């Protein structure tokens, strides 16, 4: 009876440890085409160990109502894990410049790298700032510290490494020059996280628990 109880405890412990570090959901992938600000009401959307939340969009140039839609999920992408956005600039839209921000939280370690690709065609660009967990406003002012910045003209990509935490804020100024000839319907944003020692320890404990289960089953 005592041995069975130990086995049950080991099973529960092993499953709990593995689930806490290996759980991966695809909520974002199930909502392609959605207005990203609608994710805020449900706590954001998740890709692998990253959660994207607190989206905000503001008009900075042109006329009309700015809209950013979820266009794709990269898991993994070329340079990490992340999302593709459609900022709806040009191509019949009268919006020429938007400010766009969101929070990224990692349950798999410290976020230390960001990749940005500007899929726009023609004139225009994307200016990006990465802020610490304190936040950022729609004007691009970090509440706390700025961790990094990037600038990607249409059709170009760039990456930056920084000393971040498990939560960062990303702010973008996405613009085109002439809505009659320029357009942008593709912005790719990917991230990488470095596992923390505590997470590695939990993984080891989880594997140890499952190994104990396997040995008891064999006996």
Give percent above pLDDT 90 in the chain. Answer: 76
Residue numbers of the domain that contains 126:
2-218
pLDDT at residue 15 is higher than 90 = no
If you average pLDDT over each of 3-12, 61-70, 205-214, which comes out highest? 61-70
Q: How large is the angle between the packed helices 197-218 and 2-22, nearest 10 degrees?
A: 140
Around Cβ 54, how many Cβ atoms within 10 Å?
Answer: 16
Report, as an integer, the average pLDDT of 156-164. Answer: 96
Cis check: omega of the bond before 105, within 30 degrees of 0: no
| Other beta carbons within 10 Å of 203 | 16
- Say yes or no to pLDDT of 63 above 60: yes
CA distance 136 to 73: 24
Which domain CATH number covers 117? 2.60.120.380
pLDDT tier at 78, thresholds 50, 70, 90: confident
Range 162-183 average pLDDT: 97
- Per DSSP, the residues of 21-44 read HH--B-TGGGGTT-BGGGGGGGT-
Report the number of distinct structural domains present in the chain: 1
Predicted confidence (pLDDT) at residue 16 exceeds the cutoff of 50: no
Model confidence at 147: pLDDT above 80: yes
Q: How far is 216 from 143, CA to CA, in rounded Å?
A: 54
């Amino acid at each position: 009876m005592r041995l069975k109880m130990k086995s049950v405890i080991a099973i529960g412990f092993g499953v709990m440890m593995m689930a806490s570090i290996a759980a991966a959901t695809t909520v974002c992938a199930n909502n392609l085409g959605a207005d990203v600000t609608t994710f805020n009401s449900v706590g954001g959307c998740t890709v692998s160990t990253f959660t994207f939340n607190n989206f905000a969009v503001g008009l900075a140039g042109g006329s009309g109502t700015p809209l950013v839609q979820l266009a794709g999920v990269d898991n993994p992408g070329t340079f990490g894990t992340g999302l593709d956005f459609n900022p709806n600039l040009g191509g019949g839209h009268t919006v020429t410049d938007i400010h766009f921000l969101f929070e990224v939280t990692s349950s798999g370690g410290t976020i230390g790298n960001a990749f940005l690709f500007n899929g726009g065609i023609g004139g225009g660009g994307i200016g990006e700032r990465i802020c610490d967990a304190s936040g950022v406003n729609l004007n691009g002012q970090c509440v706390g510290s700025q961790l990094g910045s990037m600038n990607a003209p249409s059709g170009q990509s760039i990456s930056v490494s920084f000393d971040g935490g498990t939560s960062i804020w990303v702010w973008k100024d996405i613009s085109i020059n002439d809505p009659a000839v320029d357009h942008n319907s593709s912005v790719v944003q990917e991230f990488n996280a470095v596992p923390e020692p505590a997470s590695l320890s939990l993984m080891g404990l989880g594997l140890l628990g499952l190994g104990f289960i396997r040995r008891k089953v064999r006996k």
